[in-house]
């Protein structure tokens, strides 16, 4: 083993994550990250084959704060707790939120969380064949909610335009209160929807 590395893969992800938090996603270029580490841009390629691979690792690292669910709670609470924790962790690092949304991390953290999800869903009484599918569905929903949050600010106006459609519907009640796109409230609503669906399916599977 020649020349002990002065730069570990973890150093890189940690620094990149901080940089992304501080200056936004588009600041996480190879050159900027290297500058932050005070090393040559090309050195990063010793640890990650691509910029893509590096960002995957950074996104995964951002989920390290997500803890294990409490095994004593009923599955629905565990599920909400877990998914909320992931959402919070992702939003706490705005620089990588978009990346997490676009391609849910499957690094060590991602796999750990997926395992926890599967473990929780195993207690729902859902047919075994459906557990993994449900996991994917939940991850997909979570990812999408994050994507909505990322662009919420820029797009709320256009959503408002969509929402007026409802007001003009026969029987629709105009003057409804605003539903903020990507809000925590909105996330929780969809989650309850999904959990109700799981409950309905696990009780008596339909179709």
Residue ranges in contact with its own copies by CB under 8 A: 98, 101-103, 106, 111, 114-115, 118-119, 122, 128-137, 139-145, 147-148, 151, 155, 158-159, 161-163, 165-166, 169, 171-173, 176-177, 179, 181, 186, 189-190, 192-201, 206-207
Helix axes 94-102, 75-91, angle to 10 degrees: 120
Q: For 102-129, give the secondary structure using H, E and C.
A: HCCCCCHHHHHHHHHHHHHHCCCCCCHH
Q: State yes or no: residue 5 binds DNA (CB under 7 A).
A: yes
Q: Which of 113, 80, 98, 115 is nearest to 191 (CA)?
A: 80
**Contact by Cβ (8 Å): 96, 62:** yes
Q: Which does 160 bind (CB under 5 to 8 A by kind): its own copies, DNA, none?
A: none
**By the rule CB under 7 A, 64 interacts with DNA:** no
Nearest to 175 by CA among 187, 157, 189, 163: 163
Q: For residue 188, what are the contacts with CB-CB under 8 A and spacing of at least 6?
A: 80
Q: Site for DNA (CB under 7 A): which residue of 10, 23, 46, 196? A: 46
Residue 84 lies near DNA (rule: CB under 7 A): no
User: Quick check: 206 binds DNA (CB under 7 A)?
Assistant: no
4 belongs to the binding site for DNA (CB under 7 A): yes
Lookup result for tokens 């989920």: 63
Based on the shown chain and the rule CB under 7 A, indicate whether residue 14 belongs to the binding site for DNA. Answer: no
With CB under 5 to 8 Å by kind, the binding choice for 71 among DNA, its own copies, none is none
Question: In the complex, which residues of this chain contact DNA (CB under 7 A)?
Answer: 1-7, 29-32, 39-43, 45-47, 50-52
């Amino acid at each position: 083993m020649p020349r002990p590395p002065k730069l570990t893969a973890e150093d890189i992800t940690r620094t990149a994550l901080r940089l992304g938090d501080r200056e936004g996603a588009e600041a996480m270029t190879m050159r900027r990250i290297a500058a932050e580490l005070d090393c040559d841009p090309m050195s990063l390629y010793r640890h990650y084959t691509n910029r893509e691979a590096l960002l995957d690792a950074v996104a995964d690292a951002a989920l390290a704060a997500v803890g294990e669910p409490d095994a004593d709670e009923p599955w629905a609470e565990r599920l909400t707790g877990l998914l909320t924790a992931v959402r919070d962790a992702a939003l706490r690092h705005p620089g990588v939120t978009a990346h997490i949304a676009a391609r849910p991390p499957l690094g060590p953290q991602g796999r750990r969380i997926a395992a926890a999800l599967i473990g929780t869903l195993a207690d729902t009484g859902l047919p075994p064949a459906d557990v993994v599918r449900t996991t994917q569905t939940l991850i997909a929903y979570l990812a999408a909610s994050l994507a909505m949050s990322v662009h919420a600010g820029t797009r709320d106006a256009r959503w408002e335009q969509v929402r007026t459609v409802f007001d003009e519907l026969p029987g629709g009640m105009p003057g409804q209160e605003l539903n903020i796109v990507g809000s925590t409230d909105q996330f929780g609503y969809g989650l309850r929807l999904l959990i109700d669906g799981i409950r309905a399916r696990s009780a008596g599977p339909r179709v």
